[in-house]
């Protein structure tokens, strides 16, 4: 042991590490501020559950086990590494309570031996995945093999050093079974005491050198996440998944156009990407061959910002000298491909916020560059002039309800529920049937309700997700004013998950605080309370398609299924990708109004999966999903075997007068026809 050598190693490695981190974190200091320290208790709880507890990683047994084994070793062996650095200065150094004969000596070293072997096993699993099974989402690189070798080297040098010490002291220890095993192997080699000292010294200095090289290498590759992951989990987004940031439309800068427009947290996210590829597994853009993979986008952002580090750190007018992002390192097609389904954010073990960053890039493209897909123009104009993306006459917004006894809230009658119909429910011929089915259910249950009629306008969800924040805020503020007048103390029921998300999660940004339920939730409640009793037999098989904005963004998975289970004779078949891992229909993020020109069509991919279940009905709870699934059925030539119905239509059909013989639900529900 040599205090001088140890000091030199620490000074050289520590100095280089400090220089690197000053560069990395100095860039963060130059970016836009963002508050990520409020609600410390909630953040601490998340850190324990998802950081130290590895909750998201354990969703995948093999990969999760691999990571837990390696992560656990880092937590436990780090104390041993500190001890070994201390030994470099003093032969008898030990941490408090961990010295020989002290209370935690035995339990700690038993844990150390176990996790060290576990880490070696974990690295073996990682190598097997990279060299044998080769999952599509894993990016093969020399860096991964280098890091794995370093981890194994750290564990082996520690165990062999301990074993050599045990042989020289002629002792074995039940608390240190693996170290004792290493000692037995060394003893079996019949090495001289001098040779054992040399073996121990080589392992000792190799361990210290490896940990210092390892630490300095981390910031230069994807394993930077070893440093940033836990802080990133602590600083995770606490707002609802479906809530985007409220843009200051009076500001001079909108969204993200150049590297200087990122907040420090958005770059910290890129630093923290592990390249695990979990974001790709159920990503509709990646699966169908679109030019967007969030893993690659994170790497592109990180490398671009690091390439611009000199300008960012030293130039006062850095923004003027930096290149634009979209159309530069990031292709425009990448930014517009995202459906905002949130799979990537649900899957990411370190809580990287991919969707808000993409929306910020769209905001810059729309509000600064006026560069956006041509098809979006009609949707923007329609929302601006007629408060619906199709540009249909706002004066006809209540025409769907003629003859249905759907009173207007403006009439001043008594009602317990305000039915927010939505643009599709009011204008789309297919979705009008769902609106009518829901009205029938409300009447059957004796629920007093009202509609806004022509006073209702688009929630603005398509405008916000397409980057037109100014238009969104105009629509949102008008709707909040209307809802505050008619629904301040009422329950709002909506049939569109995008409307549901906007009113529930985003309107509070405009002082609009309302109780909102989706119609599937309301139907489930009415059945449970006995206010409606589906009785007509429907002897068919149905598979339920989870809407991203109802499911992943708002965690409503069981209510639609419970509503379907209430229908006698109906057999529910689950698609392999369901609930949290459900597959997008392709219409979210404003994609409903954009052409899908690259790769396979997302809706056809989903329809193929639905058809494979053998079901004759695809049940939906979203007008976007209904449209996309219906189109997918037609495009794949399955019109005779498969059809799509909303949950409300199926339940309403079962409420029709019972016949002597059960019959399947026809393409147009009799109950709906009867009320129209």
CATH of the domain at 361: 1.10.1060
Query: Would you state the pLDDT for residue 671?
Result: 37
> What is the rounded average pLDDT for all residues in the chain?
92
Whole-Å CA distances, 512 to 342, 482, 506:
24, 10, 8
**Residues 401 and 344 occupy one common structural domain:** no
Q: Are residues 335 and 381 in the same domain?
A: no
Q: Are residues 318 and 427 in the same domain?
A: no
Are residues 422 and 324 located together in one domain of the fold?
no
- Asked whether residue 455 is domain-assigned, the answer is yes
* Rounded-to-integer distance, Cα 168 and Cα 151, Å: 26
Same domain for 116 and 167, yes or no, is yes
Task: Please name the residue that has the structure tokens 């619906």.
Answer: 388
Nearest to 401 by CA among 432, 378, 380, 424: 432
Same domain, residue pair 227 and 299? no
Q: Residues of 499-531 as b/e, b for ≥16 C-beta within 10 angstroms? A: bbbbbbbbbbebebebebbbbbbbbbbbbeeee
- Residue ranges with strand state E in 34-102: none
8 A C-beta contact, residue 649 and residue 618:
no
* Residue 554 and residue 431 share a domain: yes
Secondary structure of residue 643 in the 3-state scheme: strand
Residues 325 and 389 in one domain: no
The candidate with the shortest Cα–Cα distance to 152, out of 186, 124, 180, is 124
504 and 382 within one domain:
yes
Give 297: exposed, middle or buried? Use CB within 10 Å, 0-12, 13-18, 19+: buried
- Helix (H, G, I), strand (E, B), or coil: what is residue 113? helix
Looking at the structure, tell me whether residues 325 and 354 fall in a common domain: yes
Contact 154, 207 (CB under 8 A): yes
- Spatial CA neighbour of 354 closest among 232, 458, 468: 232
Indicate whether 196 belongs to any domain: yes
Position 49 in a domain: yes
Q: Does 290 lie in the same domain as 415?
A: no
| Cβ–Cβ under 8 Å, residues 262 and 370 | no
For residue 185, the surrounding DSSP H or E stretch is: helix 177-188
Angle at CA of residue 189, ends 186 and 191, nearest 5°: 85
- Say which CATH number the domain at 51 has: 1.20.950
Q: Is 137 helix (H, G, I), strand (E, B) or coil?
A: coil
Q: 529 and 444 in one domain?
A: yes
Q: Residue 420 forms beta bridges with which residues?
A: 494
What residue has token string 């609009």? 512
Domain that holds residue 278: 259-367
| Residue 341 domain flag | yes
Which of 327, 346, 367 is the C-terminal boundary of a domain? 367
pLDDT of residue 334: 94
Evaluate whether residue 246 is within a structural domain: no
pLDDT in tens, 406-451: 999 999 888 999 999 999 999 999 999 999 999 999 999 999 999 9
| Helix residue ranges per DSSP H, 218-263 | 225-234
Task: For residue 134, tell me if it sits in a domain.
Answer: yes
Residues of the chain with pLDDT under 50: 658-664, 668-676
The distance in angstroms from the start CA to the end CA of the chain is 90
In a domain, 240, yes or no: no
The number of folded domains in the chain is 3
């Amino acid at each position: 042991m040599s205090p001088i050598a140890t000091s030199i190693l620490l000074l050289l490695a520590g100095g280089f590490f400090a220089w690197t981190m000053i560069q990395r974190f100095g860039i963060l200091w130059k970016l836009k501020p963002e508050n990520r320290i409020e609600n410390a208790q909630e953040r601490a709880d998340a850190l324990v559950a998802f950081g130290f507890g590895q909750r998201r990683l354990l969703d995948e047994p093999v990969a999760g086990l691999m990571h837990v084994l390696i992560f656990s070793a880092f937590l436990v062996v780090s104390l041993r590494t500190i001890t070994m650095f201390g030994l470099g200065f003093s032969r008898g150094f030990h941490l408090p309570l961990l010295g020989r004969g002290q209370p935690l000596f035995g339990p700690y070293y038993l844990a150390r031996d176990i996790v060290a072997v576990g880490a070696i096993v974990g690295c073996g699993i990682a190598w097997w995945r990279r060299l044998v099974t080769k999952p599509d989402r894993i990016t093969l690189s020399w860096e991964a093999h280098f890091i794995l070798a370093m981890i194994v080297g750290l564990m082996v040098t520690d165990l062999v050093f301990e074993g050599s010490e045990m042989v020289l002291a002629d002792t074995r220890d039940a608390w240190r079974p693996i170290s004792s095993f290493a000692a037995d192997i060394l003893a079996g080699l019949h090495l001289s005491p001098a040779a054992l000292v040399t073996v121990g010294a080589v392992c000792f200095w190799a361990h210290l050198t490896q940990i210092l090289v390892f630490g300095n290498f981390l910031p230069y590759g994807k394993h930077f996440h070893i440093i940033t992951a836990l802080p990133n989990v602590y600083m995770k987004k606490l707002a609802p998944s479906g809530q985007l940031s409220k843009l200051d439309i009076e500001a001079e800068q909108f969204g993200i156009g150049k590297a200087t427009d990122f907040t420090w947290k958005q770059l910290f996210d890129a630093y923290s990407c592990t390249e695990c590829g979990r974001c790709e597994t159920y990503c509709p853009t990646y699966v169908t061959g679109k030019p967007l993979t969030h893993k690659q986008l994170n790497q592109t952002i990180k490398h671009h910002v690091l390439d611009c580090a000199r300008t960012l750190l030293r130039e006062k007018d850095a923004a003027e000298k930096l290149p634009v992002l979209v159309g530069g390192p990031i292709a425009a097609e990448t930014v517009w491909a995202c459906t905002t389904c949130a799979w990537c954010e649900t899957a990411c073990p370190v809580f990287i916020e991919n969707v808000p960053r993409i929306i910020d890039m769209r905001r810059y493209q729309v509000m600064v560059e006026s560069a956006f897909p041509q098809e979006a123009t009609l949707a923007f104009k329609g929302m601006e002039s007629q408060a619906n993306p199709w540009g249909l006459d706002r004066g006809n917004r209540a025409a769907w309800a003629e003859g249905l006894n759907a009173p207007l809230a403006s009439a001043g009658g008594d009602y317990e529920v305000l039915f927010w119909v939505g643009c599709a429910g009011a204008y789309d011929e297919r979705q009008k049937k769902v609106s009518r089915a829901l009205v029938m259910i409300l009447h059957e249950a004796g629920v007093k309700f009202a509609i806004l009629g022509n006073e209702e306008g688009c929630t603005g969800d398509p405008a916000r997700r397409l980057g037109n924040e100014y238009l969104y805020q105009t629509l949102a503020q008008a709707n909040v004013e209307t809802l505050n007048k008619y629904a301040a103390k009422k329950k709002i029921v909506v049939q569109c998950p995008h409307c549901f998300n906007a009113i529930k999660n985003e309107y509070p940004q405009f002082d609009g605080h309302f109780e909102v339920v989706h119609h599937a939730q309301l139907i489930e409640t009415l059945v449970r309370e006995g206010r409606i009793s589906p009785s007509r037999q429907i002897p068919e098989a149905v598979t339920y398609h989870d809407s991203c904005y109802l499911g992943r963004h708002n965690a409503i998975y069981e209510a639609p299924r419970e509503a379907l289970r209430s229908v006698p004779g109906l057999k529910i078949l689950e698609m392999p990708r369901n609930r949290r891992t459900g597959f997008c229909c392709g219409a979210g993020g404003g994609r409903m109004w954009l052409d899908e020109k690259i790769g396979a069509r997302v809706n056809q991919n989903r329809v193929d999966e639905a058809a494979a279940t053998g079901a004759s009905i695809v049940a939906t709870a979203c007008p976007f999903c209904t449209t996309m699934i219906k189109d997918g059925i037609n495009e794949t030539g399955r019109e005779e075997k498969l059809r799509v119905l909303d949950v409300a239509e199926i339940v309403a059909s079962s409420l029709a007068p019972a016949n002597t013989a059960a019959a399947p639900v026809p393409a147009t529900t009799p109950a709906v026809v009867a009320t129209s």
